[in-house]
Amino acid sequence: MSNPNDEIIRLEGICKNFPGVQALKNVDFCLRKGEIHALVGENGAGKSTLIKVMTGVERFDEGKITYDGKEIVIRSPQHAQNIGISTVYQEVNLCSNISVAENLLLGREPRKLGCIDWKAMNKRAKAIMQDLDVDIDVTQPLGSFSTAIQQIAAIARALEISSPKVLILDEPTSSLDAHESNLIFKVMRKLCSAGVGIIFITHFIKQVYEISDRITVLRNGKLVATHETASLPTIQLISEMIGHSLAEYDEMKKSEFVVNHKKALLEAKELGRKGMVEPFDLELHAGEVVGLAGLLGSGRTEVVKVLFGIDEPDNGCLIVDDQLIKKHSPFEMIMHGVALCPEDRKASGIVGDLTIRENIILAIQARLGWFKFLSKQKQYEIANKYIKMLNIATPSSDQLVKNLSGGNQQKVILARWLATDPKMLLLDEPTRGIDVGTKAEIQKLVINLATEGMGCVFISSELEEVMRTSHRVVVMREHEKVTEFAGEVSEREIMQAMAGGE
C-alpha cells in the first residue's frame, strides 16, 4: 500500500464550464505514487474533462493544481508530457500501417551516419515491448496485431516519450475481452510497482475491483467521494455512481421466444465475401434477438457489414421480407427496414460537426430523400423524443455531437437508427463505453424492442451480455460461422466454441 504523503499530483476545487454545461464543479482529486486510481462515473460525469484539465488540453476556470509539491499551471499537452504526465487516449493515436518499431520510436529513431539504423531501432523496440512482457515481431505493421497489443504499444510509446510519474489511461479496455484486458493489467501492475501513479478510467465495475487501489466517483461534474477500493462494497459504488440503486439490473428477463419457422424477417443463404467472411447462413425472425459471439477479429463485424450492404457480398443471397436483395447498399437496406449501429462510433458513426438533432435525423432523412426535408419543428420533435428516451446528457439538441461525452455519442447513434423505426436492428457493440446504468437500460431496450416484434442482431465482447439478451447465439471464429446455440447453453460451451480446438 502506498504512503498517503506520497502525493504526485493534487487538484483542488477545479471548475470547468463549457457553453451551457458545467462539466466540473469544485472537484478535488489526488494521485499517490505507485497507486492505481480508478476514476468512475456515468457518461458525461466529467471524467474525460478532468483528465483534459490535468493534461493541459483544456484550461480550467477555477481551482489549483499541485504537482510534486509545487503549485503549477499546465499550459499544454506538450508541457504536461515534459513534466511527466503521459496520457493514452481512448482512440489509439498510432498509425496502423507502419511497423510497431516505427510507431514506438517515431521522431527519435536511432541513427547511424545520419541514416536510420533499422537494426538498432528494431532491437530497441523489441526491448521496450519485452519490458512490458510482450514478445512480438516489432517489424510487423501495428495494424496486424490485436487491439490489446495496439493499446499496449500506445502505452509503451507514452512511456518512451517521457518517463512519466503519472500515466493516464482513458478507457483502455473498453474494446478488449477479458484475456486481453489482463495483458493491459499486467503492464499496469508492473509500472505501478516501479512507482508510477496510474489513473484508470473504465465502465467495467469488475475491473475496477480487480486492479485499483482507490476509487474516485464523479457524478454530474461533482465529486461524490474517494474511497479505498478494499473497503467499498459494489452496491455502494454503483449507487454512488448513478445516484440510486440498480435494482432493475436483476429484474431483466428476456421474453420467451418461440421460433416461428414460417416467417423469417431476414434470411442469408451462403452469404459471404472473399477476404472478409466465409459464406454463412443466418435467419432472423421477428421478435428474436440473435447474439453474435466471437473473439475480437473473428468476423462478427464483417457479418453485419455484409448484411447491411456496406461491403457487397460476392457469394450467396440475402432475402429480406420475402424479397431478394439485388442491389446491396445501406440505402437499399434502410428501405427494407434494416438498421446498423456500427462498431466504430468515431469513424463510421457520428458526424462530429453536426448537431445532435441533425445526427439523429440523418438516417430518416436519407430514407425520405432530397426533396422531402423534415421541417425544423419535426426534427426537434424527433430529436427531443430520443434524447429523453435514451437519457442523453446535453443542454439542448443543438449541441454539436463532438462535444458530447463518448457514451452519449454512442446513444445518439442508437437514436439515429431507432428513429427510422426499423424492423431489423443490427447492433455492433452498442454498449461500448456506456456506463453500467445505461448499459442495463440498453439491454432492456433491446429485449423490449424484440418483444414488440423487432428482429435484432446483438454483437458484444461481453459474453455475459450476449447471453442475457439473446435467444440464439451464433459463434464466429476466424471469419467463419462455426456453430449456433439455441435455448439454454452454458458460458463455457460458448467460450469453447469461440476458442476452437480443444
Ligand X SMILES: Nc1ncnc2c1ncn2[C@@H]1O[C@H](COP(=O)(O)OP(=O)(O)OP(=O)(O)O)[C@@H](O)[C@H]1O
Binding window for ligand X (CB under 6 A); candidates: 180-188, 256-264, 382-390, 404-412: 404-412
Q: Which is nearer to another protein, 252 or 366 (CB)?
A: 366
Site for Mg ion in 395-434 (CB under 5 A): 405-406
Q: Which is nearer to another protein, 278 or 428 (CB)?
A: 428
Q: Environment class of residue 350 by beta-carbon count within 10 Å: exposed (0-12), middle (13-18) or buried (19+)?
A: buried
* Interface residues toward another protein, by CB under 8 A: 17, 19-22, 310, 329-331, 333-334, 340, 342, 347-354, 358, 362-363, 365-374, 416
Q: How far is the CB of 91 from Mg ion (least distance, A)?
A: 11
Q: How far is the CB of 332 from another protein (least distance, A)?
A: 8
What is the three-class DSSP state of 293? strand
Alpha carbon distance 175, 173 (integer Å)? 6
Instruction: Check: CB of residue 97 under 8 Å from CB of residue 143.
Output: yes
Angstrom CA distances, 117 to 106, 121, 156, 324, stand at 13, 6, 20, 58
**Closest residue to bound Mg ion by CB:** 48
Looking at residue 125, its amino acid is A
Query: How many of the chain's residues bind Mg ion (CB under 5 A)?
Result: 3
CA 70 to chain centre: 36
Instruction: Check: CB of residue 86 under 8 Å from CB of residue 35.
Output: no
**Within 215-344, where are the H helices?**
234-242, 248-251, 300-307, 330-335
Looking at residue 231, its amino acid is S
Site for ligand X in 32-51 (CB under 6 A): 41, 43-49
Binding window for ligand X (CB under 6 A); candidates: 96-104, 321-329, 399-407, 480-488: 399-407
If contact means CB under 5 to 8 A according to the sort of partner, which of another protein, ligand X, Mg ion, none does residue 333 touch?
A: another protein
Site for ligand X in 358-397 (CB under 6 A): 393-394
Structural Rg of the chain based on CA atoms: 24
Residue carrying C-alpha cell 449541441: 399
Residue 172 binds ligand X, judged by CB under 6 A: no
Residue 357 binds ligand X, judged by CB under 6 A: no
Residue 175 binds ligand X, judged by CB under 6 A: no
Q: Which is nearer to another protein, 157 or 345 (CB)?
A: 345
Instruction: Check: CB of residue 170 under 8 Å from CB of residue 162.
Output: no
Q: Which is nearer to another protein, 52 or 477 (CB)?
A: 52
Q: How far is the CB of 117 from ligand X (least distance, A)?
A: 41
Alpha carbon distance 74, 63 (integer Å)? 12
If contact means CB under 5 to 8 A according to the sort of partner, which of ligand X, Mg ion, another protein, none does residue 83 touch?
A: none
Alpha carbon distance 6, 426 (integer Å)? 49
Q: Which is nearer to ligand X, 18 or 373 (CB)?
A: 18
Looking at the DSSP bridge assignments, the partners of residue 473 are 291, 485
Q: Determine which helix (DSSP H) or strand (DSSP E) holds 469, and give its type and residue range.
A: helix 463-469
Among 99, 151, 212, 405, binds ligand X (CB under 6 A): 405
Smallest CA-to-CA distance from 45 within 398, 344, 408, 354 is with 408
Q: How far is the CB of 392 from another protein (least distance, A)?
A: 18
Instruction: Check: CB of residue 111 under 8 Å from CB of residue 117.
Output: yes
Residue 197 binds ligand X, judged by CB under 6 A: no
**Could you tell me which residues come within 8 angstroms of residue 376 by beta carbon, excluding any fewer than 6 positions away?**
none
If contact means CB under 5 to 8 A according to the sort of partner, which of ligand X, Mg ion, another protein, none does residue 369 touch?
A: another protein
Residue 403 binds ligand X, judged by CB under 6 A: yes
Q: How far is the CB of 434 from ligand X (least distance, A)?
A: 7
Q: How far is the CB of 362 from another protein (least distance, A)?
A: 5
Residue 401 binds ligand X, judged by CB under 6 A: no
Q: Which is nearer to ligand X, 229 or 399 (CB)?
A: 399
Mask of contacts with ligand X, 2-21, x by CB under 6 A?
A: ----------------x--x
Q: Which is nearer to ligand X, 94 or 393 (CB)?
A: 393
Smallest CA-to-CA distance from 220 within 15, 441, 490, 23 is with 23
Q: How far is the CB of 100 from Mg ion (least distance, A)?
A: 27
Site for Mg ion in 24-83 (CB under 5 A): 48
Q: How far is the CB of 497 from ligand X (least distance, A)?
A: 32
Residue 199 binds ligand X, judged by CB under 6 A: no
If contact means CB under 5 to 8 A according to the sort of partner, which of Mg ion, ligand X, another protein, none does residue 139 touch?
A: none
CA 315 to chain centre: 32
DSSP string of 163-194, one letter each residue: --SEEEEESTTTT--HHHHHHHHHHHHHHHHT
Smallest CA-to-CA distance from 461 within 252, 323, 296 is with 296
Task: Give me the residues that bind Mg ion (CB under 5 A), please.
Answer: 48, 405-406
